[in-house]
Amino acid sequence: MAGNNSYLAKISALRAQLGRVILGKDESLRDLVVALLSSNHILMEDVPGVGKTTLAKALAKSISADFKRVQFTPDLLPTDVLGSSIYSPKDGTFDFKAGPVFTNILLADEINRASPRTQSSLLEAMSERQASIEGTTRPLPSPFLVIATQNPIEYHGTYPLPEAQLDRFGMKIGIGYPGKDHEVDVLYSQFHHHPLDDVTPTLDCAEILAMQEAVRAVKVDTRIARYIVDLADATRHHAAVKVGCSPRGTLILFRAAQARAFIEGRDYSIPEDVKGVAVRTLAHRLTLDTKAKYSGVQKEDVVGEILGRVPVGV
């Protein structure tokens, strides 16, 4: 791991800088970096005004990444996201105008306000880092990360994300309200200007790609891999769960555990790496049965209960 010491210093600087923008949320910031380094898209679900959009902007500025924001609305069309060909009457040709998906970090703000048709326009981009438009497949820039936000308490004018869409998100994270002391600090941190104005690049996209490659080299013992599979399998046989974790979810948990080990300075994964990311990685891809859903069972509690009873393999 000695060769990655410079990366670790830059990761530490990245987390510290994000921590000056979003105060008192170290765990959420760690999960954001884990998702970035494991090449996983992020769903941020939280109430308005806690800093979801600000955090996405701060991350983009911190890694010198191209950033696009799309405000998802009921009248948004797939072409508004992907792009389309524009007819030029001057020479009678069609010129392709790339949509905002052709970027490094795409902020899909309030994604559940768009129609399912528009939501699904991101499926190929999120899975394969490419977009098929008008019969032509175009690669997306690297790295490519979707950060989507949604409000969990407002249902009027929204469309629930389908399971296929949810399964493309590597992690679902929240930010939550700041503690009272940190909220006082927020007031003073914006006394003269916004902390986002002070964000400077600590990494570039080439370094992010190199780190993502280094994460894939983190060693995972067979018993850890078996533990990951056992956790996923337990979700498929849980009494409160109608549809459990998919194999895609198992792989995402594997990668996230590698990334967590990497940012902790290890070239090998341990069970705590898996446990540390399991809830944010698995919970959102579960479908509860009707009785559990209306009994107030939370998906996060299901994963927590599974973590408490499934042993690490030997």
| DSSP character string of 35-58 | HHHTT-EEEEE--TTSSHHHHHHH
Domain ranges within the chain, ordered by starting residue = 10-193+200-217, 218-314
Burial degree of 287 (CB within 10 A; 0-12, 13-18, 19+): middle
**Is there a common fold for 10-193+200-217 and 218-314?**
no
CA gap 163, 285 in Å, rounded: 7
Taking domain 218-314, whether its CATH number is 3.20.20.140 is answered by no
CA gap 194, 145 in Å, rounded: 25
Taken in order 201, 50, 44, 25, the sign of the CA dihedral is positive
Maximum CA extent, the chain? 70
270: how many CB neighbours lie within 10 A of its CB?
17
**Class level of CATH domain 10-193+200-217:** alpha beta
Which token pair is 15?
């987390």
Phi-psi domain of 244 (left: phi exceeds 0; alpha: psi -120 through 50; beta: other): beta
pTM here?
0.90
190: how many CB neighbours lie within 10 A of its CB?
12
Render each residue's pLDDT in the chain as its tens digit; 314 residues.
Answer: 445 678 999 999 999 999 998 888 889 999 999 999 999 999 998 887 778 888 999 999 999 999 999 999 999 999 999 999 887 787 878 788 999 999 999 999 999 898 888 988 899 999 999 999 888 899 999 999 999 998 877 666 678 888 888 899 999 998 888 888 888 888 888 877 888 888 899 999 999 999 999 999 999 999 999 999 999 999 999 999 999 999 999 999 999 999 999 999 999 999 999 999 999 999 999 999 988 888 889 999 999 999 999 999 75
